[in-house]
């Protein structure tokens, strides 16, 4: 088990607000491939080939098919001990905000109270023209026929409700994430390589506002030089241990005269 400092445990036990920035690594133990690990999502395709508007308009069937396959993986996956630990942390900290780059819906399914989806959610689809939400089944049927999935109401192309490269993040999510990370007493950066912006700026910004910042990742990341503590281990192992230590510390504190 990687070392967790007493400082981090104390800061969490005493915190009013905790922000957790999560990336694909927290879902790896749910069987969802990350983006940049050796067997990651990008191995099969190049980002510019699929995750941007031009690629989608150039080859909607390919892009819709890629997202459909990823949605199927997500629907078959379950939240893991890391997701569940972030929910359990809410019993010991008045406010826990999960600022996620992930589009896999697993934090919502784990029951976290405040999930901020910076990059959208792959389980939702909408029409690029009339913006009506589209049932996944409409996409599945068209893909089976080898055709682009189109809106039954206006025949516009259906796209996943995710943020592609070059697209603006949802302003409401950015506003909530800015507020949550600015007021955080502690920020945990979990399972992200911290190379995608503007999400990757949050650990540094939280620290500038006085937060204690720790990363949970088996490897070094783009923010390793900027954090107070790096815990080199998998989220599914580290986060439950961290929450257990916080619970013990909170009980000790409660029992203190």
Residues noted as catalytic = 119
Q: Which helix or strand (DSSP H or E) is residue 12 part of?
A: helix 6-14
Q: Residue 124 interacts with ligand BV8 (CB under 6 A)?
A: no
Distance CA 140, CA 121 (A): 17
Q: Residue 192 interacts with ligand BV8 (CB under 6 A)?
A: yes
Q: Residue 30 interacts with ligand BV8 (CB under 6 A)?
A: no
Q: Residue 101 interacts with ligand BV8 (CB under 6 A)?
A: yes
Query: How crowded is the C-beta side of 193, counted as CA atoms within 13 Å?
Result: 9
> Quick one: which of 78, 152, 195, 252 contacts ligand BV8 (CB under 6 A)?
195
Q: Residue 191 interacts with ligand BV8 (CB under 6 A)?
A: yes
Distance CA 148, CA 71 (A): 17
Which one, 13 or 63, has the nearer CB to ligand BV8?
63
> Quick one: which of 19, 235, 242, 243 contacts ligand BV8 (CB under 6 A)?
235
Distance CA 28, CA 39 (A): 11
Do 112 and 98 contact (CB within 8 A), yes or no?
Answer: yes
Per DSSP, which regions of the chain are E strands? Answer: 17-22, 95-100, 114-117, 120-127, 158-162, 186-190, 212-216, 229-231
Q: Residue 40 interacts with ligand BV8 (CB under 6 A)?
A: yes
> Residue with structure tokens 């150039």?
58
Q: Residue 51 interacts with ligand BV8 (CB under 6 A)?
A: yes
Which one, 51 or 184, has the nearer CB to ligand BV8?
51
Q: Residue 65 interacts with ligand BV8 (CB under 6 A)?
A: no
Terminal Cα distance for the chain, rounded: 32
The strand pairing partners of 53, in sequence order, are none
Q: Residue 144 interacts with ligand BV8 (CB under 6 A)?
A: no
Q: Residue 240 interacts with ligand BV8 (CB under 6 A)?
A: no
Distance CA 56, CA 156 (A): 13
> Quick one: which of 193, 206, 214, 243 contacts ligand BV8 (CB under 6 A)?
193
Q: How far is the CB of 29 from ligand BV8 (least distance, A)?
A: 5
Which residues contribute to the site for ligand BV8 (CB under 6 A)?
Answer: 23-26, 28-29, 34-37, 40, 51, 101-103, 119, 162-168, 191-193, 195-197, 216-219, 221, 234-236
């Amino acid at each position: 088990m990687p070392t967790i400092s007493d400082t981090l445990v104390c800061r969490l036990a005493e915190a009013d607000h905790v922000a957790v920035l999560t990336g694909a690594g927290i879902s790896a133990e749910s069987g969802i491939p990350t983006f940049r690990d050796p067997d990651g999502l990008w191995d099969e395709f190049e980002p510019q080939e699929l995750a941007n508007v031009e690629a989608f308009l150039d080859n909607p069937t390919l892009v819709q098919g890629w997202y459909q396959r990823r949605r199927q993986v997500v629907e078959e996956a379950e939240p893991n001990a890391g997701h569940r630990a972030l929910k359990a942390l809410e019993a010991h900290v008045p406010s826990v905000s999960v600022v996620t780059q992930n589009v896999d819906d697993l934090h919502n399914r784990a029951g976290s109270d405040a999930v901020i989806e910076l990059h959208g959610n792959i389980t939702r689809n909408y029409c690029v023209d009339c913006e009506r939400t589209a049932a996944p089944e409409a996409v599945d049927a068209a893909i089976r026929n080898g055709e682009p999935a189109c809106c039954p109401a206006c025949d516009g192309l259906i796209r996943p409700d995710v943020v592609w490269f070059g697209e603006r993040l949802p302003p409401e999510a950015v506003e909530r994430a800015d507020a949550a990370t600015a007021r955080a007493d502690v920020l945990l950066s979990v399972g992200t390589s911290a190379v995608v912006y503007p999400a990757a700026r949050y650990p540094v910004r939280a620290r500038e506002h006085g937060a204690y910042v720790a990363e949970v990742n088996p490897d070094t990341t783009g923010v390793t030089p900027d954090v107070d503590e790096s815990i080199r281990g998998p989220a599914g192992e580290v986060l439950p241990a961290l929450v257990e230590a916080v619970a013990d510390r909170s009980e000790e504190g409660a029992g203190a005269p």
